[in-house]
Amino acid sequence: MAAYTITIENTGESYRCADHRSVLEGMEALGRKGIPVGCRGGGCGVCKVQITQGSYARRVMSRAHVSAAEEASGCVLSCRVKPTSDLRLRVVGPLTKTVCGPRADAPTPTRNPQPTP
């Protein structure tokens, strides 16, 4: 079982993540912080990161939160990627919504058209 060093550029923090764990799961398992944690299933979009260096394997993730172009450029949901080398990343997916509506400092939520049921 291989493990790799994940570096969160926003804070400069790093942690070791086994290759069978997602980048997000690896962080949580060590009680570390830095990437917001949501559903852990590629659906809610809050753990979005930009991978700036390194290689990884990825699973399907919600197009409501990550476009095909973003995914190709390394902008991914960290719950859906497993490291295959040391990684450097930048957090881009804060919790953008509050119970009382969008926060003043939050980016506009993505409003992709919903498919017909």
Partner 1 sequence: MAMTGVLRPGHAQIRVLDIDESIAWYTDVMGLVPMGRDAQGRAYFKTRQERDHHSIVLRQADRAGLDFFGFKVRDAQTLQALEAKLIAYGVKTERIAAGDMPGTGERVRFRIPTGHHIELYADKQHVGNATGCVNPEVDVIDGPGICPIRMDHCLIYGGDIDGSRAIFEDVLGFNLVERVKLEDGVTDLATWLTCSAKAHDIAMVRHGEDDKLHHVSFQLASWEQVLRAADIMSRNRVSIDIGPTRHGITTGTTIYFFDPSGNRLETFCGGYDHYPDMEPITWTFDEVGAGIFYHDRKLNPAFLEVVT
Site of interaction with partner 1 (CB under 8 A):
36-44, 46, 59-65, 79, 95, 97-102, 109, 111-112, 114-115, 117
In angstroms, the first-to-last Cα distance of the chain is: 42
**Nearer to partner 1 among residue 12 and residue 117 (C-beta):** 117
Q: Cα–Cα distance between 32 and 96 in angstroms, integer?
A: 21
Q: Render the burial of 78-89: b for 16+ CB within 10 Å, e for the rest.
A: bbbbbbeebbeb
Smallest gap from residue 53 Cβ to partner 1 (A): 27
**Nearer to partner 1 among residue 34 and residue 36 (C-beta):** 36
Smallest gap from residue 25 Cβ to partner 1 (A): 9
**Nearer to partner 1 among residue 72 and residue 95 (C-beta):** 95
CB 50 within 8 A of CB 83: no
Smallest gap from residue 89 Cβ to partner 1 (A): 20
Q: Could you tell me which residues come within 8 angstroms of residue 18 by beta carbon, excluding any fewer than 6 positions away?
A: 1, 2, 3, 26
Q: Which two tokens stand for residue 14?
A: 């790093």
**Nearer to partner 1 among residue 17 and residue 54 (C-beta):** 17
Smallest gap from residue 19 Cβ to partner 1 (A): 16
